[in-house]
C-alpha cells in the first residue's frame, strides 16, 4: 500500500494568502492531565485536499453530498507531464494522453515539481508552482468516466496566473461547459506522487476526505493498493479487501 497524501502539520506548505496550519496543546499528560489532546486550526484547502464543485459554483454539489462510492477508484491512470515554476498545462499538453485519460476514473498527473522542492523549499512550492489553463478543464470534461484528477502541485491554479486559476477550477468543477460528458471532475491537490509510483501500484485508489458538513473541500488521506495488496492471501486475519 502507498500513501498518496502528506501529513498535515505546522510545516505544511500553503498557497499564497492561506493561513498556516496551527497545532496547539489542549491537554497534556506531561502537565498532569488525563490525556493528550490538541486543537487544530487550518484552512480546509491546506495540505492534501480535494475540491468539490461548491468550491467555485454556489449551486454545485458539496463534498458532503457526494456518495462515498465517489471516492473509490478502480481504474486509476498516471501520466508524466514535466513542468517547472509558473508554467501552465493546457489542453494541447494533455491531448497526446487522451487514450489514457479516456480509460481512467482517476487521473494522477505527475509534473515532478512537488517531488523536487516540496520538502527543500516549501515557500517556492507554495508560491511558484505550475498549474492548469482553462482549456485543460474543458479537456477533462470530455471523458464520461473521469471523476477526479490528482496532482503533485499545491493547487490546480498556478499562483502566478490567478485568472487562469479561477477559470480552470470553474471549467473542471462547474456546470456550464458546452459538450461536457460528465458532471464535474474533482480536484485532489498537493498530492504525493513519487517518482517511483507506477501503474502496478494503482489497482485501487481510495480518497478519504475529512467528513465536514457543509464543505466545498476537505483535507484527505489517499491510499493506493496494488494488485498484490488486494490478493486475499496477503490480507491478515482472514479478511479480504474488495470482497
Q: Which fold has domain 2-229?
A: Glucose Oxidase; domain 1 (3.50.30)
pTM of the model: 0.94
Residue 49's nearest CA partner among 89, 8, 80 is: 8
Please state the separation of Cα 88 from the chain's center in Å.
18
Q: Check: CB of residue 190 under 8 Å from CB of residue 207.
A: no
- The pLDDT, as a whole number, for residue 241 is 47
- The pLDDT, as a whole number, for residue 242 is 46
For residue 200, the SS3 value is: helix
Q: CA-CA distance, 145 to 109, in Å (whole number)? A: 16
Q: Is the pLDDT of residue 93 over 90?
A: yes
- The pLDDT, as a whole number, for residue 237 is 52
Q: Of 144-148, 153-157, 178-182, give the lowest mean pLDDT range.
A: 178-182
- The pLDDT, as a whole number, for residue 178 is 81
Q: Is the pLDDT of residue 150 over 70?
A: yes
Question: What ranges do the domains of the chain cover?
Answer: 2-229
Amino acid at each position: 500500500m502507498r500513501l498518496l497524501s502528506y501529513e498535515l502539520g505546522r510545516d505544511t506548505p500553503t498557497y499564497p494568502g492561506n493561513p498556516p496550519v496551527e497545532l496547539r496543546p489542549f491537554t497534556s499528560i506531561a502537565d498532569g492531565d488525563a490525556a493528550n489532546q490538541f486543537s487544530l486550526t487550518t484552512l480546509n484547502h491546506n495540505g492534501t485536499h480535494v475540491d468539490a464543485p461548491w468550491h467555485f459554483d454556489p449551486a454545485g454539489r458539496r463534498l458532503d453530498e457526494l456518495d462515498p462510492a465517489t471516492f473509490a477508484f478502480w481504474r486509476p491512470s498516471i501520466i508524466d507531464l514535466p513542468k517547472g515554476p509558473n508554467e501552465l498545462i493546457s489542453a494541447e499538453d494533455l491531448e497526446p494522453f487522451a487514450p489514457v485519460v479516456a480509460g481512467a476514473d482517476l487521473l494522477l498527473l505527475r509534473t515532478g515539481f512537488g517531488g523536487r522542492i516540496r520538502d527543500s523549499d516549501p515557500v517556492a512550492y507554495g508560491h511558484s508552482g505550475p498549474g492548469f489553463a482553462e482549456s485543460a478543464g474543458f479537456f477533462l470534461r470530455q471523458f464520461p468516466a473521469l471523476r477526479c484528477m490528482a496532482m503533485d502541485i499545491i493547487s490546480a491554479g498556478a499562483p502566478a496566473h490567478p485568472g487562469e486559476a479561477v477559470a480552470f477550477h470553474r471549467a473542471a468543477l462547474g456546470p456550464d461547459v458546452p459538450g461536457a460528458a460528465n458532471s464535474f471532475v474533482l480536484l485532489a491537490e498537493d498530492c504525493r506522487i513519487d517518482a517511483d509510483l507506477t501503474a502496478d501500484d494503482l489497482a485501487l485508489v481510495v480518497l478519504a476526505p475529512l467528513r465536514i458538513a457543509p464543505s466545498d473541500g476537505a483535507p484527505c488521506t489517499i491510499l493506493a493498493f496494488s494488485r498484490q495488496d488486494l490478493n486475499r492471501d496477503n490480507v491478515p486475519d482472514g479478511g479480504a479487501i474488495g470482497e
